[in-house]
């Protein structure tokens, strides 16, 4: 519509009001800007601008060895960095044609599901916050904090994990990880029940979220939605089922789906996915085999330190891996994992030089953000905040 001209609505004339929402605004998660055209409090047009968090990840990845990309992947979706680590390492391993060990596969599933829990807890807690409920947010953060302690114990860092390596892991899980996880789980389950009590049947919460920010299944597929936003619309697509990786094909879990594709469905889907992640982790704890977590090929994984310091063979392998890097054969590979927000895909190209020729990320948020305009136009300006939250945009991932 011609926004500069006075428009008519019924027999009333109105002046469209243009306001900039963001990029820096207390209610905007991450740095993003929405150019709004308002008629009173109704959104008549919205133009979503991304790119404020662009660091040049994909270009930086071409500068170092394949291994040196891993810390950059922490900074993609920084609410679930371990899933990005697993995805990138999986892509390079696919190009290398290397089969990682059984134990490593289970550990990677475990850390992926732990990360999914922290990711969904953040989204659910914030969705309550957006409509004025502060308590569930604090509870969710408290439960997430327990998981961050667990992640810190495993990887040495809360967010900048860089735990997986090409061909395995930095190190095995620490002693007592099962007990510590069970402690987290007790807290999580109690907290989930409490949150459900406060939110799921809450009149205010339902009024603010049900039938708001609707994205129908056909449109969601057309926009390239994946993850909870697509499943809330009723499409049962999940990378863990559609193209099972690691050991997901051996684990029992369900894919929750919604009906309407509104904010409320997205909340329910995330809530149920946390419970399914718990179910997966119980099976991992039951099934995880003993054994090494790294492949034994010295062309891929650093030799143990006693071999490096005491034998020339280990020394040379260490030297070559650090100085020249893993020699990935020329070719290209795409490897996708189910991230917190949907399909996180890594498309890697090697020219055989020991340095990545190209590392492209398919961030789930990017496709979802395309649909944001359609989700908020026609709604109220106050509904933008809960809708924007329910898609859980992560700046680090979308802008790279």
Would you tell me which residues interact with other proteins (CB under 8 A)? Answer: 297-299, 303, 307, 309-317, 319-320, 323-324, 327
- Bridge partner list, 49: 33
Which C-beta is closer to other proteins: that of 1 or that of 312?
312
Which C-beta is closer to other proteins: that of 141 or that of 308?
308
Q: How far is the CB of 310 from other proteins (least distance, A)?
A: 7
Q: Residue 165 region, left (φ>0) first, then alpha (ψ -120 to 50), else beta? A: beta
Q: How far is the CB of 292 from other proteins (least distance, A)?
A: 14
Q: What is the DSSP letter of 194?
A: H
From residue 88, alpha-carbon distances to 73, 125, 216, 360, 394 in Å are 7, 28, 31, 10, 18
Q: How far is the CB of 321 from other proteins (least distance, A)?
A: 8
Which C-beta is closer to other proteins: that of 56 or that of 97?
97
Q: How far is the CB of 108 from other proteins (least distance, A)?
A: 25
Which C-beta is closer to other proteins: that of 218 or that of 310?
310
Q: Is the CB of residue 195 less than 8 Å from the CB of residue 124?
A: yes
Q: How far is the CB of 244 from other proteins (least distance, A)?
A: 31
Q: How far is the CB of 315 from other proteins (least distance, A)?
A: 5
Question: What is the Cα–Cα distance from 257 to 266, expressed in whole angstroms?
Answer: 9
Q: How far is the CB of 334 from other proteins (least distance, A)?
A: 28
Which C-beta is closer to other proteins: that of 298 or that of 357?
298
Q: How far is the CB of 298 from other proteins (least distance, A)?
A: 5
Backbone angles phi, psi at 196, to 5 degrees: -60, -40
Which C-beta is closer to other proteins: that of 102 or that of 320?
320
Question: What is the Cα–Cα distance from 354 to 352, expressed in whole angstroms?
Answer: 6
Residue for token pair 């922290």:
118
Q: Is the CB of residue 103 less than 8 Å from the CB of residue 288?
A: yes
Q: Is the dihedral of CA 91, 95, 96, 102 positive or negative?
A: positive
Q: What is the DSSP string of 216-255?
A: -HHHHHHHT--THHHHTTT----HHHHS--TTGGGS----
Q: Is the CB of residue 96 less than 8 Å from the CB of residue 329?
A: yes
Q: How far is the CB of 312 from other proteins (least distance, A)?
A: 4
Which residue intervals of the chain are DSSP H helices?
Answer: 57-60, 70-74, 81-96, 102-130, 134-155, 177-199, 203-209, 217-223, 228-231, 239-242, 263-287, 305-310, 312-323, 364-370, 372-376, 384-390, 395-399
Q: How far is the CB of 306 from other proteins (least distance, A)?
A: 11
Q: Which of 158, 131, 162 is nearest to 144 (CA)?
A: 158
Residues 6 or more apart whose CB falls under 8 angstroms from that of 37 comprise 3, 16, 17, 18, 43, 44, 45, 46
């Amino acid at each position: 519509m011609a926004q500069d001209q006075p428009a008519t609505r019924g027999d009333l004339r109105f002046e469209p009001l243009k306001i900039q929402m963001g990029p820096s605004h207390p209610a905007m998660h991450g740095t993003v800007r929405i150019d709004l055209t308002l008629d009173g409090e109704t959104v008549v047009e919205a133009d979503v601008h991304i790119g404020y968090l662009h660091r040049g990840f994909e270009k930086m990845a071409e500068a170092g060895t394949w291994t040196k990309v891993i810390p950059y992947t922490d900074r993609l979706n920084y609410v679930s960095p371990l899933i990005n680590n697993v995805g990138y390492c999986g892509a390079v391993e696919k190009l290398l044609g290397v089969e990682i060990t059984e134990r490593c596969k289970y550990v990677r599933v475990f850390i992926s599901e732990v990360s999914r829990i922290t990711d969904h807890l953040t989204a659910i807690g914030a969705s309550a916050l957006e409509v004025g409920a502060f308590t569930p947010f604090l509870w969710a953060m408290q439960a997430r904090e327990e998981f961050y302690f667990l992640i810190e114990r495993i990887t040495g860092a809360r967010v900048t994990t860089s735990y997986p390596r090409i061909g395995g892991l930095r190190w095995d899980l620490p002693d007592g990880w099962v007990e510590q996880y069970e402690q987290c789980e007790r807290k999580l389950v109690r907290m989930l029940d409490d949150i459900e009590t406060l939110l799921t049947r809450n009149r205010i919460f339902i009024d603010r979220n049900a039938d708001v920010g609707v994205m129908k299944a056909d449109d969601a597929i057309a926009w390239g939605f994946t993850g909870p936003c697509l499943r809330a619309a009723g499409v049962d697509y999940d990378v863990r089922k559609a193209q099972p990786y690691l050991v997901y094909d051996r684990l029992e879990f369900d894919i929750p789906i919604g009906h309407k594709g509104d904010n409320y469905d997205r909340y329910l889907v995330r809530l149920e996915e946390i419970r399914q992640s718990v179910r997966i982790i119980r099976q991992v704890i039951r099934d995880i085999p003993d054994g090494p977590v790294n492949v034994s090929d010295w062309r891929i994984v650093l030799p143990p330190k006693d071999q490096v310091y005491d034998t020339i063979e280990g020394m040379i392998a260490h030297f070559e891996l650090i100085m020249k890097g893993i020699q990935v054969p020329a070719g290209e590979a795409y490897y996708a994992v189910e991230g917190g927000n949907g399909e996180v895909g890594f498309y890697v190209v090697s020219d055989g030089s020991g340095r990545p020729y190209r590392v492209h990320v398919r961030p789930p948020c990017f496709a979802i953000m395309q649909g944001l305009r359609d989700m908020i136009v026609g709604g109220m300006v106050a509904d933008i905040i809960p809708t924007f939250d329910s898609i859980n945009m992560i700046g680090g991932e979308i802008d790279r």
